[in-house]
Structure 1
Amino acid sequence: KAYVSALLAELDLERSLLAPRLETVFVGGGTPTFTEPGAFERVLGALPEADEVTVEANPETVTPALASVLRSHGVDRVSLGAQTFQPHLLEVLERRADRDTIRRAVHTLRKVGFDNVSLDLIYGIPGQSAGDLAADLEEALALDPEHLSCYELEAKPGTRFTHAYGEELGRQADAMETYFERVVDRLVAGGYRWYETANFCRAEKRRDLRSRHNLAYWRGRDYLGIGIGAVSTIGDRRWRNAPRLAPYVAASAAGQAPPREHEPLSRDVRRRERLMLGLRLDEPLALDAVRAAVDDAALARMTSLGLAEVVRADDAATVRLTRRGRFLGGGVTVALLT
């Protein structure tokens, strides 16, 4: 409760930075649905209006009561951390939910009217076979989510997880590229648009199901982060709240901003970030906006190799990665930077 009070105090302190109407609000950074119900409702009730309001949830926390609370507070999109449907892999990840819990969570959200549900999946889990991955994709598709995020497992060096599964993680690293291609091929064949490196949305004519939160980030929009360790980027400034609870709560009690690290952003840094983030999308990126960050010789080379394509119309030009270039991803983007 003390943390929620501090969180709301920081939001009030920074509210003047917000536009009258926001593109997106995203409540995540962990599992907010584990928060005590009364405290969580306080957070939901304080959120500013936005075109899209997303809440992250673990499947085991989704009850009829929670689903109703989310709907009544204007949440219109839920992102479920399924990760995998395979029992032995859920055990590796130390997840509480099983496949029935995941299915039940989706059905519970549907019953109260949610028509925009996203599932997170992870590949490269120790012990995961190609067959396990294929089964995960089929089980996810059977639930007909509007959106899927599929991430390669990141195991940080020195952690208990890496110590326990280091050898298997090494073996999985060799299969990652193949797994990535399997994910893309199956979801695209299933009617999903591969709109960002790790994100897929159902292709519909009547509505755009791409995550507005994801798009805003990859398009270089300004954003305000609230909470411990949250990052904000507005104009030429970026700051990160310190990841410590006691100083955060103490600052709130004193009516002050929490301890922060500040980073000035030069025009060159913003351009380079715009290039790196924008090329993750399947939409073309205006070259004029990033021209100073692009190595023209490298761009010509990547184009000749079939990894990037440039389209010129009148005096304007755009660039994007080809399908092959997108599979290579960061390596191509880094090569394009001056």
Structure 2
Amino acid sequence: MLLPAARLARVTAEGATAREWGRSFGLYLHVPFCDVRCGYCDFNTYTSDELGEGATRAQYADSALAEIALAREAVGQRRVDTVFVGGGTPTQLASSELVRMLRGIEDAFGFAPDVEVTTEANPDSVTPASLAELRDGGFTRISFGMQSAVPHVLAMLDRTHDPAGVPQAVRWAREAGFDQVSVDLIYGTPTESVDDWRRTVEDALAMEPDHISAYALIVEQGTAFARKVNRGQVTMPDDDETADKYVLADDLFAQAGLQWYELSNWARDDAARCRHNLGYWYSGDWWGIGPGAHSHVAGERWWNVKHPAAYAQRVSAGASPRMDGERLDDASRRLEDVMLRIRLREGIERSALAGDPEPLIAQGLLEPRGDRVVLTLDGRLLADHVVRELT
């Protein structure tokens, strides 16, 4: 059942004074379609031959718009600060459909004057015309899934794009007038050498993006990649090599003028930081549209049914697609708050910590800054350990 609008507005107002980001409101729009499901990916994605009637790409926008209407009924009039369209591969849908869903969000809620609107994209799923249509339709930011510049690494990841096409896609996005262009990278793939990773980072920087995300490959149980690892078909690199790659990337990014603002994210300046993701890390409010999408509003979290057909059936009948939810108690919320905010360059107030930060400062894992503590480079490499000690 969706939250009643009156209760939602009351609880939101009560919690709004904690932080500026606590007053932010974002919309996440999940597009679950991919041409090929990558072996390492555990996101809620589907290829077209896995889906039946009612869940086709051509019908998807109507389903999403139906949930947007439900969200507006539950939340009431609340201005949207950020929109993030992820997946899957959002650009598997026609640009006109992405713009139609964006217009639906704007019509339902209204946009902040400086609204940030991001879409993810595979570099081989865009054209100059499609990018121009997205930009003209209100998208301000685009994030390309580059992952690697090395063909054998992409093959290990089941990525099918030609790495030579990434600079072209970035150039097209610039020509279309996007305010910010980001690229996503993955490091720590089996068979990837340090030199392979250096090539990837240098090729990414040569495109002069405003923002880079770089994530260590994680073996997610239940994926095809995990089965290969469990069978001994591939061997993951050791932790020291993965750490070396992070340090290398951080150094090269800094030399190019990109500074870290979150453990896995670097930006050319504050304006280039992904405000939508900052809303997550600062525990702002967001509504997730689409199958399997998660939401967090007024301290309550819930998630939708995962399969697109079940999702479409519910929203077309005017019913909530919600599958389950939870409300964290105060202790759990404080723990989550530390886990999220310690990841940020701004760090976290000492008063928010249950553990003593002094031993971690002495070990060189935290740096004191007034009434706050911030992860050092070594601390970023051992962030999980730091969180355990602070909570």
* Identical amino acids, percent of aligned pairs: 38
CA distance in 1, matches of 2:307, 2:178: 35
Mapped contact 2:345–2:375 kept (Cα < 8 A): yes
Q: How does 1:3-18 map to 2 (within 5 A)?
A: 3-16=60-73, 17=75
Partner residue, 1:320:
374
Larger RCO (alpha carbons 8 Å, 6+ apart)? 2
Flag the 1:275–1:131 CA change in 2: closer, same or farther, 3 A. same
Flag the 1:19–1:53 CA change in 2: closer, same or farther, 3 A. farther
Q: Out of 175, 179, 199, which is 1:135 matched to?
A: 199
CA-to-partner distance for each residue in 1:44-77, whole Å, 9 max, x for gaps? 3223324210000000011012111111111000
CA distance in 1, matches of 2:247, 2:135: 36
CA distance in 2, matches of 1:4, 1:79: 21
Aligned residue identity for 1:12? A
Pair 1:122 & 2:186 matched: yes
CA-to-partner distance for each residue in 1:140-163, whole Å, 9 max, x for gaps? 010000000001112223532233
Q: How does 1:76-95 map to 2 (within 5 A)?
A: 76-95=140-159
Pair 1:262 & 2:325 matched: yes
CA distance in 2, matches of 1:265, 1:241: 18
Bigger shift: residues 223-232 or 242-251: 242-251
Partner residue, 1:245:
308
CA-to-partner distance for each residue in 1:187-228, whole Å, 9 max, x for gaps? 11221111110000113xxx6211101211111111111111
Partner residue, 2:102:
44
Q: Out of 211, 218, 223, which is 1:147 matched to?
A: 211
Flag the 1:308–1:212 CA change in 2: closer, same or farther, 3 A. same
CA distance in 2, matches of 1:172, 1:324: 17
Bigger shift: residues 169-178 or 193-202: 169-178
CA distance in 2, matches of 1:277, 1:146: 23
Pair 1:212 & 2:275 matched: yes
Distance apart, 1:33 and its partner CA:
0.6
Distance apart, 1:167 and its partner CA:
5.2
Secondary structure of 1:269's partner?
helix
Q: What runs of 5+ residues in structure 2 fail to find an aligned partner?
A: 1-57
TM-score by length of 2: 0.78
Mapped contact 1:92–1:126 kept (Cα < 8 A): yes
CA distance in 2, matches of 1:93, 1:284: 33
Mapped contact 1:251–1:259 kept (Cα < 8 A): no
TM-score by length of 1: 0.90
Secondary structure of 1:9's partner?
helix
Partner residue, 2:355:
295
Partner residue, 2:167:
103
Distance apart, 1:38 and its partner CA:
4.5
Flag the 1:38–1:12 CA change in 2: closer, same or farther, 3 A. same
Pair 1:25 & 2:79 matched: no
Mapped contact 2:292–2:306 kept (Cα < 8 A): yes
Distance apart, 1:246 and its partner CA:
2.5
Bigger shift: residues 79-88 or 153-162: 153-162
Partner residue, 1:336:
390
Mapped contact 1:220–1:273 kept (Cα < 8 A): no
CA distance in 2, matches of 1:331, 1:167: 30
Aligned residue identity for 2:147? Q
Q: How does 1:179-258 map to 2 (within 5 A)?
A: 179-203=245-269, 208-258=271-321
